[in-house]
Amino acid sequence: MKEIIEKSLHNSLTYQEFRDLVGNLLTENKSTGHTQSEALTGYSLLNDRRMKRLDKTIKISEQTVTAINTLKEPQTWLVIAEGWCGDAAQNLPVINKISETSDLINFRVVLRDDNDDLMNLFLTNGGKSIPKLIALDKDNNVIDTWGPRPTVATKMVADYKAEHGVIDAKFKQDLQVWYNKDKGQSLQNDFVNLVENLQAKEV
């Protein structure tokens, strides 16, 4: 596992490099990933606009900053994502803003399709759901994971699936509306809990 993680870290991008890659590919009418289609390029274009907006508007709460500042050791937050993924577009800007509140956090992004071995180590219910965050200690040991979406949204997905059997276009639209109203607060709550859990493990 460690060899796969370290290889993926070598292939990883800063958040800004990921943003630039998505933007540059769009000038060629392409998306990230090994599969190219008009639909995926369309999603990628929409997500690029979302991320630009969120980069400017997301506010990190005092509670989140306080929790992050209790970290005592360096960590790497390695996130598996793709430019066409709606959940990634809603969450990566928030994770980036959180990471910027501490010099101890190194936030890196890797593309799912280029890092299949890594993705297969961190499946969600057997699926390659993204974004997936892998928290690593200074020696690149896995200390926690998060994803592919905030706990509240995960429950929304599970409840809808239980009632309707599938996640359809209507729900996907409703989920984006929820993200826009939530403004990253649920994700911040998750990360406060994640940090508190890490601290408890250290005691």
Q: Is the pLDDT of residue 115 over 90?
A: yes
The string of pLDDT tens digits covering residues 87-98 is 999 999 999 999
Q: Which two tokens stand for residue 45?
A: 């274009």
Fold of domain 2-202: Glutaredoxin (3.40.30)
pTM above 0.75, yes or no: yes
Other C-beta atoms lying within 10 Å of the C-beta of residue 178: 15
pLDDT band per the 50, 70, 90 thresholds, residue 202: low
Q: Which two tokens stand for residue 18?
A: 């990921």
Q: Is 169 helix (H, G, I), strand (E, B) or coil?
A: helix
- The answer to whether 64 and 185 are in contact (CB under 8 A) is no
Domain ranges across the chain: 2-202
Alpha-carbon distance of 177 to 200, in angstroms, equals 35
The string of pLDDT tens digits covering residues 13-41 is 999 999 999 999 999 999 999 999 999 99
- Distances, alpha carbon 30 to alpha carbons 16, 25, 26, 58, 82, in Å: 18, 5, 5, 27, 12
Alpha-carbon distance of 32 to 11, in angstroms, equals 14
> What pLDDT is recorded for position 70?
93
Q: Which two tokens stand for residue 199?
A: 């601290």
